[in-house]
Structure 1
Amino acid sequence: MPAVLAHEPLIRLVAFLAILAAMAIAEIAAPRRRREIPRLVRWSNNLGLVIVDTLALRLAFPVLAVGVALSVDAHGFGLLNWLDVPEGMAIVIAFIVLDLAIYGQHVAFHAVPALWRVHRMHHADLEIDVTTGLRFHPIEILLSMAFKLAVVALIGAPAVAVLLFEVVLNAMAMFNHANLRLPEGIDRLLRLVVVTPDMHRVHHSIERRETDSNYGFNLSVWDRLFKTYIPQPKAGHDRMTIGLPLFRTRRDLWLDRMLIQPFRGNADAGASTPPPREREQHLSS
């Protein structure tokens, strides 16, 4: 086992805290949109959700993705092991396949009504910043982990590749949800390879066509390849409305309300069956 895997929990924690702090500072230094809701309201509840998600994972899965990768490697299971792919190439292939799998999963969470009920809590945030990248319902976290474990096992992903992918994906989710203004030229260059904040912010528009676009969290190639890419929001980044027609009060930002959102309101699917237009409600205290 590579020495780095022996320190997996510490690596994850340090990377998480470092990126969270860096993005929080960057948002203060160069904000993209004006903040209307106090950070204390959103941050306390969004970060509280991270604790709930972590506990749910630990209770539901005795072994997570890196552990499964170690197990399949020990038993020689999975496509990359069967083909005896060199380790360096296997790491690159596994990283790319896992990223494509997460893109496909994200599309499915928008297209299937039952999955959208769970995923829409992520979209119900009334503002978008680094903590939105951590705001996922525990049910979605559990479903996503089960899917990831299956992909890891089927392809025989090396444990190093899985750890690298999960750390990078978590970091990129915080980066591309950040309320960060990048210089236009830098954004244009970066989004040729990775998903930038301006690119992903389109995905959080209240306009359903824009919500059902820009699904990538890490590599930007998938949205271009599968024709789900929209360069900019119709209303512009400063004037676009973030969120959904539902759950638009500040009370809906509280942890207890977030946890019951999948069981409230009507389920609607993806772009193929857009919901009826609803007049946006004003934010209430």
Structure 2
Amino acid sequence: MTSDLAQYGLLLSLLLFAILAASEAMFPRRKRSLPRVKRWRTNILIILMDSAALRLVGPIAALAAASYAAQHHIGLFNWTDWPAWLEFTLALILFDLAIYGQHIATHKIPLLWALHKVHHADRDIDVTTAIRFHPVEIILSMLYKSALVLLLGPSLLAVFVFALILNLCAMFNHSNLRLPDWLDKRLRLFLVTPDMHRVHHSTVPGETDSNYGFSIALWDRIFDTYIPQPEAGHDDMVIGLKEYQTDGPAALWWSLALPFQKRYRPDKAKGYKRKSS
């Protein structure tokens, strides 16, 4: 059953990916800094490597952890007699809060930030950025999620639904999709929108340190990490990291090696210097 749920989730994710990729091409929010083909080649290769990395931790993946917790009566919800609907709802809310906390940790803890920089170094933000993560970060993230599952003991359905929501929302809020202002304002009352999350990918440090939510927009308001709009505006804001405004982030091996660089050396980054305009 676990493998069947994973396959259904993959099919839905691929379908939304295709829809968003086509939509952002027809209704782009921002002009691109780099050619789509150049970036997508690297981002998709990283995604394939992430998929391979996840197979290495398959035995402790979140869905497998949920099955294990149920079989061995492990976790909070396996020790309570609450209604199924309440446990399901609480599981989704607690998981989302935990992912919000995890995201902040990846920015505040130097070792985690070294890995998370691969995601933020992307100089454009679109649907592929949503799944552009260093393979080591993907493995650590899956271990974290599996530990949460063992701690809470949610149903297999709750784990599947949350994983699907997280994946679909990440693709949506990273997309370069232009939404009408009235729709964005209403959606972001409860859901993280592309305009809301794009602020988080600004090169301005104060803006990078904001809008950490992936699904529920409420956490950023509760914990005072919410910034409604970028100071320079969405059309003029610079995406990525200040020190990596080169062609480097669009290269596969540069991106994979980024966490292990002691410091940025523009004079040593052959082939990745910014072209003069």
TM-score when scaled to structure 1?
0.90
Determine if the alignment matches structure 1 residue 25 to structure 2 residue 16: no
Aligned length: 269
CA distance in 1, matches of 2:3, 2:143: 23
Q: Using the alignment, how far apart are the partners of 2:67 and 2:27 within structure 1?
A: 42
Partner of 2:97: 100
Which residue number in structure 2 is paired with residue 276 of structure 1? Answer: none
* Cα offset, 1:57, TM superposition: 1.4
- Cα distance in 2 for residues equivalent to 1:199 and 1:282: 31
- Partner residue in 1 for 2:216: 219
127, 139, 153: which one aligns with 2:124: 127
**Alpha-carbon distance between aligned partners in 1 of 2:106 and 2:10, rounded to the nearest angstrom:** 27
> How far apart, in 1, do the equivalents of 2:252 and 2:9 lie?
24
Among candidates 271, 280, 284, match of residue 275 of structure 2: 284
Following superposition, the deviation at residue 70 of structure 1 comes to 1.1
Structure 1 residue ranges without an equivalent (≥5): 268-280
**Distance apart, 1:102 and its partner CA:** 0.4
Please give the alpha-carbon distance, in whole angstroms, between the structure 2 residues aligned to 1:129 and 1:249: 18
Which residue number in structure 1 is paired with residue 79 of structure 2?
82
Q: Percent same amino acid at aligned positions?
A: 48
How far apart, CA to CA, are the structure 1 residues paired with 2:247 and 2:262?
17
Alpha-carbon distance between aligned partners in 2 of 1:141 and 1:190, rounded to the nearest angstrom: 28
* Cα distance in 2 between the residues matched to 1:251 and 1:140: 20
- Once the two structures are superposed, residues 203-261 of structure 1 have per-residue CA deviations (whole angstroms, 9 ceiling, x without a partner) of 00000000000000111011001000000000000000001022222133111111110
Structure 2 partner of 1:185: 182
What's the counterpart of residue 270 of structure 1?
Answer: none
Aligned to 2:207: 210
Asked if residue 258 in structure 1 is aligned to residue 249 in structure 2, the reply is: no
Describe the SS at the equivalent of 1:130.
coil
- Following the alignment from structure 1 to structure 2, what is the Cα–Cα distance between the partners of residues 27 and 104? 29
Per-residue deviation, residues 181-212 of structure 1 (Å, max 9, x unmatched)? 10001000000111000000000000000000
Q: In the alignment, does 2:5 pair up with 1:8?
A: yes
Deviation at 1:75, TM superposition (A): 1.6
**CA contact 2:247–2:273 (8 Å) conserved in 1:** no
* 2: CA distance, partners of 1:36 / 1:243: 10
Note the C-alpha offset of 1:37. Answer: 1.5
Q: RMSD over aligned Cα, in angstroms?
A: 1.7
